[in-house]
Structure 1
């Protein structure tokens, strides 16, 4: 997490080299502007990450953590990303992640397969949640258009 922060921040907060050509298209060209307008988020996807989540969250300059639920389930020993045998342990892990982030005063996010799941996780205390992925959205939109084109 400290390496990620250092890679994103300009000195003296990090080690990012100064070359604002591309970043200047979206954020200001000064290090202060870049620091204000970018975030550093670490993913929690392994048993080791979960074991170290409090230390990760306490990393100076880290803005948040993000759970990749499929990888975390596998990392905790699941045979598949949806292995029901891991449900209790996985839900307990999410509480650990949320509490560590809250204690450190940083954001806690999680990936979700749909809006209903995202709403559930936000109600549980996550501060941000993704709603599916770009590929899922693209596939759903394309399927909808194809179904409309085939309708009689």
Structure 2
């Protein structure tokens, strides 16, 4: 048995834009529905959604038959948690609030087995190895693993060149919400200073030969960031889309809350 091919990682090497959707319902059933829609990738959010290792596993299993590629965002860069996420079969990880190259190097080590890292060996207990069905997993796992670090603070942007240059970091994902809050403009990622920082992070990542991504649920934001060079863009959030569609449906029959646009800050 071979290690599953990481089509998301392979797409990063191509000069094309991929479009993703945030998954926040924390259930395999909802994730599977989204996986049938044609998005290139789906972000299973372990940071702000009420996810646990078992619920993330259920979503990975639910989306496995479909072309939409799963990306798992960890709640933290803790090496023990990363070990668990990799063992249940996550191949692409996004880690929030990375601010230094040292942090990035620690994350790379957490994703690799000794002697190149510190990942513990799960062997026959791990879905990632197909329960020891992949004979050379220990030697080849890193080839199909993908690490995305999130730069979403002023300090992170200051160090983005060094972060992006770390070997083993595949991509840098900019977080407009936390960045705008940290710069003193909460809820306003369109502030010129925030936009300047975002543009700098994108440019620096590309200059390092790496790929940049971003969350942009509103079309004008998404197209602007695409024009700046973002190669993978999340253009929707499942919870927000359901809420907006439900409000639109209700207003056909009775007066309801005013329409709300997709968030610019999540």
Which residue number in structure 1 is paired with residue 225 of structure 2? 121
The alignment covers a number of residue pairs equal to: 145
> Which of 3, 13, 17 in structure 1 is aligned with 2:120?
17
Q: Does 1:65 align with 2:168?
A: no
TM-aligned CA deviation for residue 127 of structure 1: 1.3
Distance 1:124 1:12, change over 3 A: same
Matches within 5 A, 1:2-151: 2-20=105-123, 21-24=126-129, 29=134, 30-78=137-185, 80-82=186-188, 87-143=191-247
Q: TM-score, normalised by structure 2?
A: 0.49
TM-aligned CA deviation for residue 75 of structure 1: 1.2
Unaligned regions of 5+ residues in structure 1, if any? none
- Runs of 4+ deviating beyond 6 Å: none
Q: Deviations over 1:52-111 (max 9, x none)?
A: 111111111100111110101111121x22266xx2111211221112111211111111
Distance 1:134 1:24, change over 3 A: farther
CA contact under 8 A between 2:113 and 2:138: conserved in structure 1? yes
Unaligned regions of 5+ residues in structure 2, if any? 1-103, 255-266
Distance 1:5 1:100, change over 3 A: same
Q: TM-score, normalised by structure 1?
A: 0.81
RMSD of the alignment, in Å? 2.4
Higher normalized helix content (fraction of residues): 1
Higher normalized strand content (fraction of residues): 2
